């Protein structure tokens, strides 16, 4: 349909979603399980970026840190404090896991902002898996740590008795909506920002509008830098909140 | 990517719906590579990066604690030194005070001694002077007596009387007594 | 015809983004008002602020998603 629209409007061509197409890097074949595609490339770059920051940056183990090392320490301290403050001290066992999520999302988002880049976190396939991992982990941890008492999360004991079954249904629904909102929020934000930038870029084809378009792209880009970080932060802190529910289910 | 031709888009569009995100045919592919990525990042972080950063932070904390302890020690030393200095100052002041008062006392005693000596000398001199004056007076009296006797005797003789030395002497002495 | 109706539906769904914007503005504004009254408590509540914004925004993203689905997937 986007094609049709482009054709209808003549010179003005919008392909806001083309940037999200998964395609093989070598050859033109179908995308199989192990095909090397742009997904593979940008995920590998995310790994490389994480490794560069967290391993090469800290390789000198300096007591007085260099810039890269202090950024790595900042990230460490940021997530460590978040896990400790939000989810409690006993959640620190999950700190590497949460750190992994945060570092991956933050670097995937930022690498996606590189012009011509492919944004892995804009795909529901990626974010749904991330959210389901959190959901499954939280549910399992909740039942392992608290047993049947974990179900107390849905039984609001502070509410009047008559209301409790209704509240329980609402709580259960909201519990199962968590992974949905958790994943769609991240992918939706990233996708929306990139699509908007692309739409503005499409307007730049008209010479009169192009200065406005360039300014708008710049402004959106700045906003997207902010959103990239905030969405990673939100994803991480919601993970911590869910983890707190699993570890301390008392309402 | 915007430069892609419509033909390529059409080719893709045939395989995928308008939203590439909803093209479920490549989900297995993305999920596979995502799992690989997550596992690699997890091991990179949990095996290498996080313990290293934790160690560095702990070391820094230790260094800071040590430095603070050292600083505290130095501060205590500084306070000690200041106390010692103050004590030395106070000692010196007391010493100076003592020396001053001693000197004063010495001077006072010397002064007293000198005054007493001077007083004694003055008294001696006065006594001597008085004695001399008394001597001179006595000798003057004697002289006056001798002259008076002689004069009396002469006057008596001149008046035609015979001057008895004894009588003259007695009369003169009588007169001299007043 | 059906496709054009879908486009109209997409446009209507996009109104939801504006509603989410109102929600986010509400959250942020109230946070600011509270933070100005008690600045010392503000720092400890920034996480709550972001969670609130995230929840409000997620609903807007849902409507955006509906719009996208109507545009591209129907």
Is the model's pLDDT at B38 over the cut of 90?
Answer: yes
Task: Tell which wins on pLDDT, B165 or B138.
Answer: B138
Domain that holds residue B121: 26-177
Alpha carbon distance B126, A52 (integer Å): 115
Cβ of residue C50 closer than 8 Å to a chain A Cβ: yes
| b/e burial code for range C10-22 (CB count within 10 A of at least 16 → b) | beebbebbeebee
Residue whose tokens read 């070598």: A26
Q: Is residue B14 part of a domain?
A: no
- Find the closest chain C residue to B13 by CA distance: C72
| Residues in chain B within 8 Å Cβ distance of A129 | 31, 34-35
Q: What share of chain B is helix, strand, coil (3-state, %, to 5)?
A: 90, 0, 10
Could you tell me what percent of chain B has a pLDDT over 70?
89
pLDDT of residue A12: 66
Which of A217-221, A237-241, C23-27, C40-44 has the least mean pLDDT? Answer: C40-44
| Residues in chain C within 8 Å Cβ distance of A233 | 50
Q: In angstroms, what separates the C-alpha of C21 from chain A's closest C-alpha?
A: 13
Is the model's pLDDT at C22 over the cut of 90?
Answer: yes
Q: Is residue B93 part of a domain?
A: yes
**Overall average pLDDT of the A37-65 stretch:** 88
Structure tokens at C53: 């914004």
Q: Do A95 and B50 touch (CB under 8 A)?
A: yes
Is the model's pLDDT at A235 over the cut of 90?
Answer: yes
Range picked from A161-175, A202-216, B102-116 for highest mean pLDDT:
B102-116
Is the model's pLDDT at A4 over the cut of 60?
Answer: no
The number of domains in chain B is: 1
Which of A185, A230, A237 has the CB atom closest to C58's CB atom? A185
DSSP letter at A12 equals -
**How does residue A159 score in pLDDT terms, banded at 50, 70 and 90?**
confident
Q: Is residue B6 part of a domain?
A: no
Q: What are phi and psi of A24, to 5 degrees?
A: -65, 145
Residue whose tokens read 């939280």: A138
In angstroms, what CA-CA distances link A211 with A201, A205, A217, A242, C13? 11, 10, 10, 45, 30
In angstroms, what CA-CA distances link A92 with A152, A235, A244, B48, B61? 23, 17, 11, 17, 19
pLDDT tens sequence across A120-136: 999 989 999 999 999 99
Q: Write a three-state SS string for B156-171.
A: HHHCCCCCCHHHHHHH
Is the model's pLDDT at A236 over the cut of 90?
Answer: yes
Is the model's pLDDT at C46 over the cut of 90?
Answer: no
For residue A37, give the 3-state DSSP assignment.
strand
pLDDT tens sequence across B41-62: 999 999 988 899 898 889 888 9
- In terms of DSSP H, where are the helices of chain A? 2-8, 38-51, 67-82, 95-112, 124-146, 164-203, 210-247
Per the CB < 8 A criterion, the answer to whether A141 and A93 are in contact is no
Q: Is residue B21 part of a domain?
A: no
pLDDT of residue B9: 42
Structure tokens at B78: 């500084």
- Among the listed residues A88, A82, A83, A61, the one whose alpha carbon sits nearest the alpha carbon of residue A72: A61
Q: What are phi and psi of A47, to 5 degrees?
A: -60, -45
Which of A15, A50, A103 has the CB atom closest to B9's CB atom? A15
Alpha carbon distance A41, A129 (integer Å): 19
Range picked from A6-10, A204-208, B168-172 for highest mean pLDDT:
A204-208
Is the model's pLDDT at B125 over the cut of 60?
Answer: yes
In angstroms, what CA-CA distances link A11 with A203, A247, B150? 10, 58, 176
Q: Do C65 and A184 touch (CB under 8 A)?
A: yes
Q: Is residue B10 part of a domain?
A: no
Is the model's pLDDT at B128 over the cut of 50?
Answer: yes
Q: Classify the complex by whether its ipTM is higher than 0.90, answering yes or no.
A: no
Is the model's pLDDT at A8 over the cut of 70?
Answer: no
Residues 6+ apart with CB under 8 A from B126: none
CA angle B34, B37, B40 (to 5 degrees): 150
Q: Is residue B20 part of a domain?
A: no
Which of A2, A86, A185 has the CB atom closest to C57's CB atom? A185
Residues 6+ apart with CB under 8 A from B30: A22, A39, A120, A123, A125, A126
pLDDT of residue B10: 41
pLDDT of residue A217: 92
Is the model's pLDDT at B130 over the cut of 70?
Answer: yes
Cβ of residue B22 closer than 8 Å to a chain C Cβ: yes
Per the CB < 8 A criterion, the answer to whether A31 and B26 are in contact is yes
Q: Do C68 and B19 touch (CB under 8 A)?
A: yes
Q: Do B4 and A15 touch (CB under 8 A)?
A: yes
Query: Burial level of A36, CB count in 10 A (0-12/13-18/19+)?
Result: middle
Q: In angstroms, what separates the C-alpha of C72 from chain A's closest C-alpha?
A: 7
CA angle A79, A82, A86 (to 5 degrees): 150
pLDDT tens sequence across A179-229: 988 898 899 889 888 988 888 888 888 888 889 999 999 999 999 999 899
Per the CB < 8 A criterion, the answer to whether A109 and A87 are in contact is no
Residue whose tokens read 């990233």: A190
pLDDT of residue B85: 94
Which of B19, B32, B53 has the CB atom closest to A58's CB atom? B53
**How does residue B175 score in pLDDT terms, banded at 50, 70 and 90?**
confident
Q: Do A63 and B55 touch (CB under 8 A)?
A: no
pLDDT of residue A34: 81
The domains found in chain C, sorted by start residue, are 2-73 (1.20.20.10)
**Overall average pLDDT of the B87-105 stretch:** 94
pLDDT of residue C1: 67
pLDDT of residue A44: 93
Cβ of residue C47 closer than 8 Å to a chain A Cβ: yes
pLDDT of residue A7: 40
- Find the closest chain B residue to C71 by CA distance: B18
């Amino acid at each position: 349909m986007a094609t049709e629209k482009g054709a209808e409007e003549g010179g003005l061509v919008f392909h806001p979603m083309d940037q999200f197409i998964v395609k093989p890097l070598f050859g033109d074949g179908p995308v199989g399980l192990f095909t090397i595609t742009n997904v593979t490339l940008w995920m590998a770059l995310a790994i490389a970026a994480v490794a560069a920051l967290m391993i090469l940056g800290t390789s000198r183990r300096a007591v007085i840190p260099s810039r890269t090392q202090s950024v790595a320490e900042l990230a460490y301290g940021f997530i460590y404090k978040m896990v400790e403050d939000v989810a409690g001290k006993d959640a620190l066992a999950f700190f590497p896991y949460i750190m992994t999520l945060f570092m991956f999302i933050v670097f995937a988002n930022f690498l996606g902002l590189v012009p011509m880049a492919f944004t892995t976190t804009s795909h529901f396939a990626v974010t749904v898996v991330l959210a389901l991992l959190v959901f499954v982990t939280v549910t399992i941890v909740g039942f392992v740590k608290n047993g049947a008492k974990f179900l107390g999360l849905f039984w609001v004991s502070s509410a009047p008795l008559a209301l409790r079954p209704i509240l329980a249904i609402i709580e259960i629904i909201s519990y199962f909506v968590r992974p949905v909102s958790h994943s769609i929020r991240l992918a939706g934000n990233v996708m929306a920002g990139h699509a908007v930038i692309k739409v503005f870029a499409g307007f730049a084809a008209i010479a009169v509008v192009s200065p406005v378009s360039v300014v708008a792209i710049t402004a959106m880009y700045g906003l997207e830098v902010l959103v990239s970080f905030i969405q990673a932060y939100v994803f991480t802190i919601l993970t911590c909140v869910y983890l707190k529910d699993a570890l301390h289910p008392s309402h | 990517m915007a430069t892609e031709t419509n033909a390529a888009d059409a080719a893709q569009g045939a395989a995928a719906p308008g939203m590439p995100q909803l093209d479920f045919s490549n989900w297995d592919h993305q999920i596979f590579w995502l799992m690989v990525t997550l596992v690699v990042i997890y091991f990179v972080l949990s095996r290498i990066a996080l313990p290293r950063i934790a160690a560095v932070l702990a070391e820094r904390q230790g260094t800071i604690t040590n430095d603070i302890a050292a600083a505290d020690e130095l501060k205590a030393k500084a306070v000690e030194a200041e106390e010692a200095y103050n004590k030395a100052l106070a000692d010196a002041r007391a010493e100076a005070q003592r020396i001053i008062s001693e000197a004063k006392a010495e001077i006072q005693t010397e002064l007293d001694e000198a005054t007493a000596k001077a007083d004694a000398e003055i008294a001696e001199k006065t006594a001597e002077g008085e004695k001399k004056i008394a001597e001179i007076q006595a000798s003057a009296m004697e002289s006056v007596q001798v002259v008076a006797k002689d004069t009396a005797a002469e006057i008596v003789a001149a008046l035609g009387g015979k001057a008895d030395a004894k009588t003259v002497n007695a009369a003169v002495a009588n007169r001299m007594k007043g | 015809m059906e496709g054009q109706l879908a486009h109209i539906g997409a446009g209507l769904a996009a109104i939801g983004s504006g509603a989410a914007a109102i929600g986010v503005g509400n959250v942020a504004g109230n946070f600011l008002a509270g933070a100005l009254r008690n600045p010392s408590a503000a720092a400890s509540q920034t996480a709550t602020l972001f969670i609130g914004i995230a929840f409000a925004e997620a609903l807007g993203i849902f409507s955006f998603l509906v719009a996208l689905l109507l545009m591209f997937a129907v």
